[in-house]
A = this chain, B = another copy of it.
Amino acid sequence: MKVGEIRNKLIEKGLKVTPQRIAILEAIVKLNNHPTAENIIDYIRKNHPNIATATVYKVLDALVENGLIKKVKTEKDIMRYDAVMESHHHLYCSESDRIEDYKDNELNELLEKYFEKKKIPDFKIEDIKLQIIGKFIKNK
């Protein structure tokens, strides 16, 4: 994702284009794999040493609210963020904090078909995500 592209997305959403917002979105994209606010701050401060912690949190909220990034569900007390906006699933390592994307259209279609038939009573589905928990095999 180029800076121009990020700039456009901000404009589309009616958000002011600021160096902080660009840096934060860039960081999430580049870091990839679901960084925490702290990860993002550490990364950004290399080139942008004066950014305030509160600014990062506020920008993250704004980006989430405007659908430019997503929060990732975890069972930890630390929020993680995702710049991959297409609907996808996650591989959660059962022994570490590693979370990887899992994209699988065949699976998406299977699920869609399944839930077209099998309705859940009193519930309207908007999105389905798999948490696939397991171990990454070191492919050394």
For A126, list chain B residues within 8 Å (CB). Answer: 94, 133-135
Q: Is the CB of A104 within 8 A of B118?
A: yes
For A96, list chain B residues within 8 Å (CB). Answer: none
Binds B, one of A18-26, A38-46, A74-82: A74-82
| Interface residues on chain A, number (Cβ under 8 Å) | 35
Q: Is the CB of B107 within 8 A of A114?
A: yes
| Complex copy number for this chain | 2
Given contacts A71-B75, A72-B75, A118-B106, contact A124 B129 (CB under 8 A): no
User: Which residue of chain B has the shortest Cβ distance to A92 in the bound complex?
Assistant: B73
Q: Is the CB of B137 within 8 A of A124?
A: yes
For A132, list chain B residues within 8 Å (CB). Answer: 120, 123, 125, 127-128
User: Which residue of chain B has the shortest Cβ distance to A64 in the bound complex?
Assistant: B75
A17 within 8 A of B: no
- Assembled-state Cα–Cα distance A79/B76 (Å): 7
- Assembled-state Cα–Cα distance A6/B134 (Å): 29
Residues of A that sit less than 8 Å from B by CB = 71-75, 77, 79, 91, 94, 100, 102, 104, 106-107, 110, 114, 118, 120, 122-137, 139
Task: Supply 10 A–B pairs (Cβ within 8 Å), ascending by A.
Answer: A77-B77, A100-B123, A106-B118, A122-B136, A122-B139, A125-B134, A126-B134, A127-B132, A129-B131, A129-B133
